[in-house]
Amino acid sequence: MGSKDRLSPNTVKECKMALSEYELGQIRSVKQSMARWRADELKKYAAEFLAAKRNIDTGFSIQNEAQETKARILDLFNATEDDWKSWHWQLKNRITDAKMLARIIKLTDEEVDQIFRVGESFRWAASPYYTSLMSPTESWDPIRRQSIPSIFELQDDLGTDDPSGEEHTSPIDAVVRRYPDRLIINATNQCATFCRYCQRRRNIGRSDQHAPKSKLWEALTYVKENEEIRDVIITGGDPLMFADNTIEWLLSELNSIEHVEIKRIGTRTLATMPQRITEELCNIIEKYPPIYVNTQFNHPREVTPDAAEACDKLIKAGAVISNQAVLLKGVNNDPHVMKVLNHELLKIRVRPYYLFQAKPVRGTSHFITSIKDGLEIMRKLRGYTSGLAIPTYIVSAPDGLGKVPVSDLNAWESADGEILLKTWEDKLVSYPV
């Protein structure tokens, strides 16, 4: 090669750069090919859920059916749309009679008879709104199962009245204390709808009863005298059954205690009677931040446009809303149902917080799943959906020892076939598998 045929240094450099870009392009192509293969693999993981999701009702998808039931209820009660929007009307007209319920949804004569029989031992009631969410024809409907008495309640000889030991962790009336820095004020036994699996059904009795103001004042005084209490949960029953002036009195008193940092309200009205979230109530909530609302949606059928509107009002008032679902056999003990529920909640800005193992309350054992079922549901959530949509799975330890987060890392099966769990105090407790 003559001198004229030699490549210039710049040309050699350009060739090397071109070769390098070619090699990098080949590497990128291989990586993208691997990524596409991985994406296809991930799509297969999602396919099962997408197929199942099409058969899971939500409160939005059942609106036509719910509106028809609502119209039937309004006609039976000779009521108006304004009546329906009033939480006072909803509370006053709770469905408590099986024959009336049978005029709203399809019930067999045997079912009507069983509701009467169970009602003699365990009181029941469902708000007109919550009743409108029930399937008119299907007895397996998750809303029915949660609110209509079942003959299984009379066949349970396994449960106890107070499995969490609240009566042994109550230093004064209306207060339950299981932790160093927080406590519960049990303010009422009244609810818009009485859930059939309720952990405090021993308090429901035969009539609605708010805690006397004297007992509430004793509870507030106890909080004032114990400066380590920084977090107070007002619950019941449902404290939003109080009149607005009582709610404001409780919140203002707690707000005036210097060492109380946050107030929490435990309420299921967002799912069972969202009409309770009025402008007047939101004005009160807005005055006493920070307020955290612990609510309970157990099935995506409960997440309705009305529930979304109620949550929106509370959020605009400054409340932070989290969900504490209960794992219930025949209602939500399915990973796909639980995933849809949590997705629907996030869409209305409610954070999935806890998934509670149902407690062995007398008359409710037909709702209780195994711990293994709960762990399997959690396995089908972790990685399969975003962390925001994954609650903490909780077992309430017996004898008032508090909540125990349950995972594959801290649940051990014992020789006698029970699960061993470690509480926050490093105490070992056993629980049925």
Strand pairing class (291-295; 320-327): parallel
Report CA Rg, the chain.
27
Domains of the chain: 63-148 (no CATH), 166-402 (3.20.20.70)
Selection from 274, 266, 333 nearest residue 298 by Cα: 333
Q: Torsions phi, psi of 48, nearest 5?
A: -60, -45
Given a cut of 70, whether residue 117 has pLDDT beyond it is: yes
pLDDT over 60 (residue 350):
yes
**What confidence tens digit (pLDDT) does each residue in 305-331 have?**
999 999 999 999 999 999 999 999 999
CB 164 within 8 A of CB 155: no
Residue 1 has pLDDT above 60, yes or no: no
pLDDT the model gives residue 9: 64
Q: Which percentage of the chain shows pLDDT scores above 70?
A: 94
Mean pLDDT (whole number) for 395-420: 78
Instruction: Read off the pLDDT of residues 269-294 as tens digits, 9 standing for 90 and up.
Output: 999 999 999 999 999 999 999 999 99
Q: Which of 340, 347, 258, 335 is nearest to 299 (CA)?
A: 340
Q: What is the pLDDT of residues 61-71, one digit of tens each?
A: 999 999 999 99
**Average pLDDT of the chain, as a whole number:** 93
Quick one: pLDDT band at residue 19, thresholds 50, 70, 90?
A: low
Q: How far apart are CA 195 and CA 359, in angstroms?
A: 13
Residue 129 confidence (pLDDT):
98
pTM exceeds cut of 0.85: yes
pLDDT at 231 over 70: yes
